[in-house]
Structure formats: structure tokens, C-alpha cells
A and B are shown apart, each in its own frame.
Chain A
């Protein structure tokens, strides 16, 4: 009955605990693909990218059937979490709300299972974004609070900055100036503590350049046109200077629309229409936010329908909106 010390089973049994059917290269390849897809978000065709993301989710699903190390399973779940968020964002952009909401829910569940405040934070961000897109400002403020409560100061993607800015915007729309100022302060405080991302084009990394854009939007809402226009001009010249204009079409579109709005309010209708048309040329992606962004501008322009180009712009805008319906 005594076990001679040379008998092998113990070591063999222990050794098997460390075995995996999946190699590190596969994990690295998936991480790289997720990074690329999240980076391509702002420029790629949404339907195509959504297909790619879902194909990647499919592959991850297959891999999860294999014998894995815990760290590998965590990596796969994390990749799936970001892909789910990406599919959610792309589906909202395409007006496919059911798929978007399902994906967002998956991301939430994965975030909870992983204990990942980053994934949870961005799942809230997506939710806040839809509330803003549907002009449900009260819900946006509440959801942003929920998101901010989850994430800690050391959250690495900067989703807290984004949430605070979203809250500031929603507060501005409601005319709640003191909440707006408080949220802007929170956002600025978090921005100061946050390390800028190595890949700012990643859709789920707070790009420090977005900060001014959001601030500009808030200022515009609260009637501080001059200040907003100042920021818009600076951002536009920075984008042109660095050749990044085409890399961020939606951002550029928003800047141009801001300038158009400031121009029309000043009575410079021709210039406004020119800028607005340019914004239309570029901004043909995110229908809900586009609708909202240009709605204010359209209302202002409607006061000047005597100018022939204004009617042309309004018709073109309407056409684009209905074709996306």
C-alpha cells in the first residue's frame, strides 16, 4: 500500500491542471482583431463591420468549447464583451434597436461576470447615448449617475469622463445649469487624472480630443454660441492641420454643423448653408444623433426659406433621414 516516491501519478495529475487546448497566439490574434474593429468603428461600413464582429463572436463561441486556462477564458470573455458593445453601437447606428439592446445586455452580463468596470461603464454609456438620442434627458442623467457609480477613479478607458460629459449635455438640454456645471467639473477633474489612450481612435477609449467637442455641444445648447464657435474653429483647424478630417467624419460633421448653427443665428445664412451642406456630405452615419444635431439647425434655417439654397438643404436632409428610416 505504501507509495514509493518514484510513482508518477501525482505529478501527472497536477500537470494536467495546467494544460490547455488553446494557444496564446489564438488569444493574441483575437485581441488584435477586436482592437482593429473598435478602431475601425468611425470609418468602416457599419453593416460590414457588424458582420465581422459577429463572425468573431462566433469564433470565440467555438473556442469556449475547448479546455482553457482561466486567464484564457477571461480574455475570451473580455473580447466578447467589447465585441458585444461594438455590435450594440453599430446596431443603434443602423436603427436596429432590438439587436442593439440584446448586445448591450450581453455586454452588461459579461461585464458583471468579469467584474469589469470598463465594460460595464461602456454598456451604461451606450444606454445614456440612446436616451440622449431620443431626447429623454431625465433618463440620461439618471443612467449616467448609475454608470458613474460603478466605475472607480482608476478605470483605464476614461468612460467616466464620457459619462460625466453626457450628463452635462442632458442637464444643459433641460436647462439645469447647476447640474450641468457640476457634471462638467466632474468630467474635467477626471480628464486631468486620466492618461490619454495609446489608441484614441478605439471607440471605447475616451479620446481627449472629444472633450472639447462635448463641451462645445453643451455651450451651444446653453446659448454660448461665441464660445462654442471658438472651440469649433480651433478643432476644425487642428483636424485639417493633422489631416485627420476624414478619419473622424462624424466629429467633423458635428463641428461643421455647430459652425453652421452659429452662423445662421448671426444671420449669415449663405455661409450657414454652405457649412451645413458640407456637414451633410460627410455626416451620413449615425442617424439618430445626426437627426438631433441637424434638427436645431433646420429649425433656425426654416426662418430663412427665402434663400433658395436653404430649401435645397432642408429637402436633402429630409431625404437622407427618410432613406435611413
Chain B
């Protein structure tokens, strides 16, 4: 155990005397002990590395496996909580638990386990408050806004994003919240306000330092902005721009061997082009694209359902008897309880 190392690291090399001379037998020894730690300082470095890896793997790895791993590390942190630590170590344990909670909330939502997702989100917010970490707390709001957006409760999004933005200020998560606000405003038909929100997201993004780890799920980068812009173009009826951006993003997240670096973003892009095709009257192409989006193994179920809502409504209204269309509707309604391992990533192309 590295008591001295930890003490030295935290207190800038000014530890109090550690020799236990006779004079110090009572108060002295006790006073030294008060600030000791039983935690091996490497443990938290190791856990942090694992948490970061899971956050990087989020965009492509199997959701069930991600959840399982995240829970293993959360359990480990829970065990570490029973160890005597310094205050700084304790804060770090909770901070790691906070990021894991956010990841767990996100993955549970992808798996359509909404109550677990909300529980994890609330845990992250509570930890953010306890740690006075605006970053964690703001991401808790981001998840909440995402849940409401996916639930198509646009009016619920705005108070959440505005509370989150007040906390996040110019951090990356602030840009992400502004992006969410822009989508909600676009859905509510507030075109100008949506543009303003997008512009402030862009301003924040431009002023951010280059992310240390752009692949980390909680690192906000321009891809997230482009994804939102694509969706907003579609909402606002700018089909040409939406389609162009969709094609561009699918290419960006597809590797040369056909596998996908960010499968959920590819699915997202495909649903946009599916809607555009349907609007142009090309039902078969729209269905092909929608199926191609459903085929992707790594998915976020509620979002996939949300992004095919317009297509489903279009079919129910205009082609209620079309056989291929009915197959699509059936598949869509079963998304939530489909085994996620049924298809291999390769199949999705």
C-alpha cells in the first residue's frame, strides 16, 4: 500500500513527520493516521482506463456486453468505497461511478430498458451534485433531453436543455444541449430559434480545445453537430441538404471493409434517406433503406423507432395494404423485443 506516495502526491510533498518518536506517541501518531489511505493508488487509474475504454467502445460494441462490463466496474467501485481513502480519492471514485452511471443510462436506453436508464441518469445527477461537478450534472440533463426527444415530447425538452445549458456553460456538453434544443425547436416549428440554438452550439464547438479522445462517447465533436443538422434539415423540409448530409455521414462512419465505426450513426443516416425517399414517392427505396437501418446489430431501439415514425405514418396513410410495407411495420413494432445478437455486424454492410 502506498500511503506515503498518495500523501505526497496530494499534498505537494509536504507530509507531516512520520517518525514515531516517543514525544509523538499520543497526538502525533494519531494526527498522521487521520489522513492515510488504504487504497492502492493504481486501482483508480486502472478503473478510469476501463471506463474510458467502455465509453469509446460504446459506439460499436454489443450493448448487452457493454452493460455487463459497466456493471462489473461499478460493482468494483462499490467495493472500493469500503476502503479507507483520502477525500480526493473518494471524489475520484464517485466521479468514475458518475460516468459509469451515465454510460449505463445510455446503454439501458438503447436496450429500451427505460426505467433502468432513468434510474442510472438520476444516480449520475445525484453524484454530480454531491461532487459539485457541472460536467456530470449537465450530462444528466443531456440524457433527460435525449429521452424526451426520443419520446417525441418536444415541449419537455426545452426546460431541460435550458437548465442543462445554464450548468454546462461553454463545456462540450453545452454544445450538445444546444443541439438538442435546436431539434426540439425545429419540431415545434420555431425555425429561427432553432437556427439560433444551432449557431450557439457551433460557437461553443469552435471554441473547444481539440478533444483528447474524440472517440469517447461523452466527448462532444463536430460529428454530433452534423448528425443533428441532418435531422433538422429533414424536419424543416430541406430534403436535398438532409440527403446530402446523410450520404456524407454514412460514408464517414463506414470503414473500407464495409464494417461501421459508428453503426448507430449509420442507421440514423439511413432513416433520414428513407424518409426523403418516401416523401419523393419511392416507397420501395424507402423500405430498403429502413430495413438496412434495422439490420444493423448495434442499435439504439427507441431512437430507431422515433426516426421511422414519419415513414410508418406515411405507409399507414398511403399504402396500408402494401405487403413490403406491412412487413416493415411488423418488424418495427418488434424492435424492442428482438434479440440484438440475431444479426452479425457484417450482414448490415
Q: Contact between B11 and A17 (Cβ–Cβ < 8 Å)?
A: no
Given A1-B64, A13-B71, A57-B30, are A102 and B82 neighbors across the interface (CB < 8 Å)? no
Interface residues of A in 50-92 (CB under 8 A from B): 50, 54, 57-58, 60-61, 64-71, 73-74, 77, 80, 84, 87, 91
Mostly, the B contact residues are: helix
Q: Contact between B81 and A67 (Cβ–Cβ < 8 Å)?
A: yes
Measured in the bound complex, the distance between the Cα atoms of B85 and A113 in whole Å is 12
Whether B108 sits at the interface, judged by CB under 8 Å, is yes
Contact of A57 among B31, B108, B123, B130 (CB under 8 A): B31
How many A-B contacts if CB must be within 8 Å?
Answer: 129
Whether A3 sits at the interface, judged by CB under 8 Å, is yes
> Closest CB of chain A to B72's CB: distance in Å?
10
Measured in the bound complex, the distance between the Cα atoms of B75 and A16 in whole Å is 9
Whether A110 sits at the interface, judged by CB under 8 Å, is yes
Whether A5 sits at the interface, judged by CB under 8 Å, is yes
The number of chain A residues touching the other chain, given as a range, is 35 or more
Given A113-B10, A113-B86, are A54 and B81 neighbors across the interface (CB < 8 Å)? no
Measured in the bound complex, the distance between the Cα atoms of B87 and A74 in whole Å is 7
Chain A residues contacting B32 (CB-CB under 8 Å) are: 106
Measured in the bound complex, the distance between the Cα atoms of B86 and A43 in whole Å is 35
Q: Contact between B34 and A80 (Cβ–Cβ < 8 Å)?
A: yes
Q: Contact between A5 and B16 (Cβ–Cβ < 8 Å)?
A: no
Measured in the bound complex, the distance between the Cα atoms of B85 and A74 in whole Å is 12
Interface residues of A in 83-121 (CB under 8 A from B): 84, 87, 91, 98-99, 102-103, 105-106, 109-110, 112-114
Whether A9 sits at the interface, judged by CB under 8 Å, is yes
> Closest CB of chain A to B342's CB: distance in Å?
10
Q: Contact between A17 and B97 (Cβ–Cβ < 8 Å)?
A: yes
Q: Which 6 pairs across A and B sit closest by C-beta, in order of nearness?
A: A10-B116, A5-B113, A67-B82, A106-B31, A14-B123, A16-B78
For the complex, count residues of B whose C-beta is within 8 A of A: 55
Contact of A102 among B16, B81, B91, B126 (CB under 8 A): B16
Contact of B130 among A67, A69, A80 (CB under 8 A): A69
Chain B residues contacting A84 (CB-CB under 8 Å) are: 31, 34
16 A-B residue pairs with CB within 8 Å: A3-B64, A9-B71, A10-B113, A10-B119, A10-B120, A14-B101, A14-B120, A16-B78, A17-B78, A17-B97, A18-B126, A61-B34, A64-B84, A87-B31, A99-B24, A110-B34
Q: Contact between A5 and B27 (Cβ–Cβ < 8 Å)?
A: no
Given A3-B67, A80-B34, are A98 and B23 neighbors across the interface (CB < 8 Å)? yes
B residues bordering A, Cβ < 8 Å? Answer: 10-11, 14, 16-17, 23-24, 26-28, 30-35, 62, 64, 67, 71, 74-75, 77-78, 81-82, 84, 86-88, 90-91, 94, 97, 101, 104, 108, 111-116, 119-120, 123, 126-127, 130-131, 337-341
Measured in the bound complex, the distance between the Cα atoms of B35 and A225 in whole Å is 48
A residues bordering B, Cβ < 8 Å? Answer: 1-3, 5, 9-11, 13-14, 16-18, 21, 50, 54, 57-58, 60-61, 64-71, 73-74, 77, 80, 84, 87, 91, 98-99, 102-103, 105-106, 109-110, 112-114
